[in-house]
Chain A
Amino acid sequence: MKHTTLTFAVTAAALLGATAAYADYPTRAINMVIPYGAGGATDISARTISEPLGAAVGKPLVMANITGAGGATGSVAVQNASADGYTMLFARVGSHSVNPAMKATLPYGLEDFRFVTVYEINPVACAVRPASGITSMDQLIAKVAEGGISYSSSGVGSMPHLASAMVLSEFGVADPLTDATHIPQKGGGAAITAVLNGTSTFVCTNSSALASFVANKQLTPLLVTTAEPVVGFDAPTANQLGKDKLNQLVGWTGIAGPDDLPDDVAAKWGEWMAAATADPKFRETMEARGSVIELMDPVKANEFIQGQYDTFRTLVEDLGMRIEG
């Protein structure tokens, strides 16, 4: 008797599980992996959207920072998770377009993920300290020819690393790898501090990270990579300087699942994100930090990321920046 009840219950559960697999997704809390540390740009962005997003999803979102190796450790955790939509990743420019373009030994590629959205764009800005006497890109490029120019980044294969190389290359520096010195730091904050204390000459990174230093006149902005000017940055845009190609050089945050994520789940995320990004408080908080809220549906997000990856990959190949071994 007991045995039959049990068998029945198990069969019923199995049947329910099979038919109603994604119709009532989600039935429990969703695990959201943040591949960077607490307090970073990705973390703050993720935790800011988790509030309106959680309301849209209707189930709790459990935020889990899995830090290490420039976002690789957390990304691999999601790559290997089952594609049931209960483990998703906050993907970022560093972990999902710069890293794959630069690192040959990376244990994952773009094809291992299915992007369900990109919701935030961060303009990139380059800045120097006022004591350097540099006030424009032209002056910086002229100094590169003289030698002794260096740039800092949050690590090898990070977005600021690639950004500086790309900017130099766009402005006609023939060999950015030897004409200017790359001084990697541990983390984005350290990269900016290195410019502040004169360890390196300039840094190119998210405008939000530079905003307070620019407002305090501790750093002089030279360039922003978007077509539109960035509030608070008294610097020309890439287009004004005739370098439209630099528009590709922006930071972004999106959400991704493992590559075999079902279509229904991806579609649901599309709806939720539309609801979450419409939240006025979310927009206000994010825009105060200098982000541009731009919602992309799953198809557009994949195209955008692939496009950025291709640009970066070409640049990396041209400059011989690829990290082997």
Chain B
Amino acid sequence: MSPKTIQFQLGLGACLAAAFLVLWAIPNWVSSPSNVSNIVLAPVFWPYALSGITGLVGLGLLLAARGASPVPDAEAEPAADDGLSWVRLSALAVIMVATMFALPRLGMVWTAMIVFVLTAFLFRTRHPITALICAVVIPLALYLFFAKVAGVAIPQGIFVRLP
């Protein structure tokens, strides 16, 4: 992406976000009691003020976009050469959502092992054996440390409980 595109998209995004906050989100999702004595003390005052400034910054970015260079520069993040970048990105998102479901059911240790293996292979590791060993050892070692030394109640899940 060129600096111009970045500035333009960001400015547009900020303006839309500010409009959404002011018109929909704050009236609906911030409750303010009816007996507020002064507007500056109301719970909605601060969110409204911030949304307003966000809108202004958005406009500023749109203005700045006019003068920015339309040519992509060196800092741009190149996608991987195998063309699977978006696939991997979505896969990682799926892994994260699945983790949230698995944590209370499978328990943290087993979930962590699965996540480790999946992500290591998602990143096309060059050391598959090491990855597998680490996938078993690291979650267990962390469990021992957090549960036994630090006394944290690591979620155990409903299937196999660790001592």
In the complex, are the beta carbons of B33 and A64 less than 8 A apart? Answer: no
In the complex, are the beta carbons of A28 and B161 less than 8 A apart? Answer: yes
Contact with B along A40-74 (1 / 0, CB 8 A): 00000000000000000000001110000000000
Least CB distance from B151 to A in Å reads 6
The complex places the Cα of A324 from the Cα of B32 at a distance, in Å, of 9
Chain B residues lying within 8 Å of A133, measured Cβ to Cβ, are: none
For window 25-56 of B, CB contacts with A under 8 Å fall at 31-33
Query: In the complex, which of the residues B31, B33, B151 contacts A63, with contact meaning CB atoms closer than 8 Å?
Result: B151
By a beta-carbon cutoff of 8 Å, the part of chain B in contact with chain A is 31-33, 147, 151-153, 161
By a beta-carbon cutoff of 8 Å, the part of chain A in contact with chain B is 28, 31, 62-64, 323-325
In the complex, are the beta carbons of B153 and A324 less than 8 A apart? Answer: no
The complex places the Cα of A62 from the Cα of B32 at a distance, in Å, of 39
Interface centre among B33, B152, B153, B161 (most CB of A within 10 A): B153
In the complex, are the beta carbons of A64 and B152 less than 8 A apart? Answer: yes
In the complex, are the beta carbons of B33 and A325 less than 8 A apart? Answer: yes
Given contacts A63-B151, A64-B152, A64-B153, 11 further A-B contacts (CB under 8 A): A28-B161, A31-B153, A62-B147, A62-B151, A62-B152, A62-B153, A323-B33, A324-B33, A325-B31, A325-B32, A325-B33
What are 14 inter-chain pairs, A to B, with CB distance below 8 A? A28-B161, A31-B153, A62-B147, A62-B151, A62-B152, A62-B153, A63-B151, A64-B152, A64-B153, A323-B33, A324-B33, A325-B31, A325-B32, A325-B33
Residue of B nearest to A64 (CB): B153
Chain A residues lying within 8 Å of B153, measured Cβ to Cβ, are: 31, 62, 64
Chain B residues lying within 8 Å of A324, measured Cβ to Cβ, are: 33
The complex places the Cα of A28 from the Cα of B152 at a distance, in Å, of 15
Least CB distance from A303 to B in Å reads 31
Chain A residues lying within 8 Å of B147, measured Cβ to Cβ, are: 62
The complex places the Cα of A216 from the Cα of B161 at a distance, in Å, of 51
The complex places the Cα of A64 from the Cα of B156 at a distance, in Å, of 14
Interface centre among B31, B32, B151, B152 (most CB of A within 10 A): B151
The complex places the Cα of A227 from the Cα of B116 at a distance, in Å, of 60
6 closest cross-chain pairs (CB), A and B: A325-B31, A62-B153, A64-B153, A31-B153, A62-B151, A325-B33
The complex places the Cα of A323 from the Cα of B34 at a distance, in Å, of 11
Chain B residues lying within 8 Å of A323, measured Cβ to Cβ, are: 33
The complex places the Cα of A228 from the Cα of B79 at a distance, in Å, of 74
Chain B residues lying within 8 Å of A62, measured Cβ to Cβ, are: 147, 151-153
Residue of B nearest to A320 (CB): B35
Residue of A nearest to B161 (CB): A28
Chain B residues lying within 8 Å of A28, measured Cβ to Cβ, are: 161
Chain B residues lying within 8 Å of A31, measured Cβ to Cβ, are: 153
The complex places the Cα of A28 from the Cα of B147 at a distance, in Å, of 14
Residue of B nearest to A61 (CB): B151
Residue of A nearest to B30 (CB): A325
Chain A residues lying within 8 Å of B32, measured Cβ to Cβ, are: 325
Least CB distance from B120 to A in Å reads 30
The complex places the Cα of A62 from the Cα of B153 at a distance, in Å, of 6
The complex places the Cα of A63 from the Cα of B150 at a distance, in Å, of 10
The complex places the Cα of A323 from the Cα of B153 at a distance, in Å, of 34
Residue of A nearest to B154 (CB): A62
The complex places the Cα of A64 from the Cα of B147 at a distance, in Å, of 11
Least CB distance from B35 to A in Å reads 9
Residue of A nearest to B33 (CB): A325
Chain B residues lying within 8 Å of A325, measured Cβ to Cβ, are: 31-33
Residue of B nearest to A87 (CB): B153
Chain A residues lying within 8 Å of B31, measured Cβ to Cβ, are: 325
The complex places the Cα of A324 from the Cα of B43 at a distance, in Å, of 13
Least CB distance from B67 to A in Å reads 44
The complex places the Cα of A324 from the Cα of B33 at a distance, in Å, of 7
Residue of B nearest to A28 (CB): B161
Least CB distance from A20 to B in Å reads 17
Chain A residues lying within 8 Å of B151, measured Cβ to Cβ, are: 62-63
Least CB distance from A17 to B in Å reads 13
Least CB distance from A107 to B in Å reads 15
Residue of B nearest to A323 (CB): B33
The complex places the Cα of A207 from the Cα of B25 at a distance, in Å, of 43
The complex places the Cα of A28 from the Cα of B32 at a distance, in Å, of 46
The complex places the Cα of A292 from the Cα of B152 at a distance, in Å, of 30
Least CB distance from B113 to A in Å reads 22
Chain B residues lying within 8 Å of A64, measured Cβ to Cβ, are: 152-153
Least CB distance from B34 to A in Å reads 9
Least CB distance from A177 to B in Å reads 9
The complex places the Cα of A243 from the Cα of B147 at a distance, in Å, of 49
